[in-house]
Amino acid sequence: MSDGADPHGTIRKGAIRALPFALAVALFGIVFGALVTSTGPMDPVPALLMSATTFAGSAQFAAVSILSAGGQPVTAIVAAVLLNLRYAPIGVTVAPHLSGAWWRRLLTAQLIVDESWAIAADGRGRFHVPVLVGAGLVLWASWVAGTLAGLGTGEALGNPARLGLDAAFPALFLALLLPQLRTRRGLAAALLGGVVALVLVPFTPAGVPIVAASAAAFIGLVGRGRP
Amino acid sequence: MTGWLVVAAVGAATVALKASGPLLLGGRRLPAPVLAVVGLLAPALLAGLIATNTFATGQALVVDARVPGVAAAGVVAWFRAPLIVVVLVAAVVTAAARAAGMA
């Protein structure tokens, strides 16, 4: 947690590193807002509130698509929560680096999304909380602003997939994973996690494979000379 | 009404999920075996995110235009290209593959 003497400098660093993703996130926010308006499963105000509080694209898209397809609210809720279950293990990785009053930890933890968390982990086992804060704030602002813009336009501005933006997120995760593969344990955990996720995709609801992949971390217990 | 119910339930659950680790563990030092596992959560989760974001569409496993994009991004990332370049390569290659008729 070498935050250095200048936390504002590292907050800015996180914000800058998040900028390319902020663009993609804003475009997906526009699509989310436009989807809500065009399919009409909820009003604009709750939709905007959802972006501000849930702040997780995949879960929000899942919930809205289920509702607009005529699904039950409880189905939408379960699907979205399953997709966000990964934030429990992700939060555990951040926990040792957060200190201070409980409400500060709670608020800082809300800035954890896949991208901000990945940007703040430097791949050598360290985690930079100010980078998380800078990246998280930029991504949150672009997600909420994108949603607002999308709600205003009312119709889809085209599919971000046409621009290849759906490949931007796995590419980010891959770039951030590579430095963690230098140790044999890191490599083994990644290979096992990837295989577990792929094997489960056809058999479990979306979200479950990612949570299950986290179980691969238990190979850290192998060969520790302890029962 | 339905909208509000879903927004409230999903929002509350997400806030709780994100905060559970930091609130329950705080800045406490974890025992060594726990640290050994927590240290590997990042590569395991990242690999799960990469695998599903690259090959999954709903519950179907597919090989579509994302695959060449992510593969190309992996190559430039291996040579330590900046993140923005990695992401641009992924998007451009995927968009080109789609324009060329790949799903």
Kindly determine whether residue A106 and residue B87, on different chains, have CB atoms separated by under 8 Å: no
CB A126 within 8 A of CB A13: no
Give the pLDDT confidence of A132-159 residue by residue, as tens digits: 999 999 999 999 999 999 898 755 556 6
**From the CB of residue A8, how many other CB atoms can be counted at a distance below 10 Å?**
9
Q: Using CB atoms, which residue from A84, A97, A176 is nearest to B14? A: A84
Q: What is the DSSP string of B27-44?
A: TPPPPHHHHHHHHHHHHH
How many of the other CB atoms lie within 10 Å of CB of A122? 14
- Per residue in A46-82, pLDDT (tens digit) is 999 999 999 988 788 878 877 877 778 888 898 788 8
Kindly list the residues from chain B whose CB atom is less than 8 angstroms away from the CB atom of residue A217. 37-41, 43-44
- Which of A19, A58, A87 is the best substitution to test chain B (most B C-beta atoms within 10 A)? A87
Q: Is B77 helix (H, G, I), strand (E, B) or coil?
A: helix
Identity of residue B88: L
pLDDT-derived band at A16 (thresholds 50, 70, 90) equals very high
In single-letter form, the type of residue at position B78 comes to: W
Test A167 with B54 for CB contact under 8 angstroms.
Answer: yes
Higher pLDDT, A99 or B74: B74
Q: Alpha-carbon dihedral of residues B26, B9, A131, A219, nearest 10 degrees?
A: 60
Contact call for A201 and B52, based on CB within 8 A = yes
Among residues B30, B36, B12, the alpha carbon closest in space to that of A95 is found at: B30
Reported in sequence order, the residue ranges of chain B that DSSP labels E, i.e. its strands, are 56-57, 60-61
Chain B nearest CA to A202, separation (Å)? 5
B23 and A106 within 8 Å at the Cβ level: the answer is yes
Look at A81 and B66 and tell me if their CB atoms are within 8 Å.
Answer: no
Tokens of A134: 């800078």
**Predicted local distance difference test score (pLDDT) of residue B54:** 94
Q: Does pLDDT of B75 surpass 70?
A: yes
pLDDT of residue A1: 43
Q: Which of residues 129-168 of A touch B (CB under 8 A)?
A: 161-168
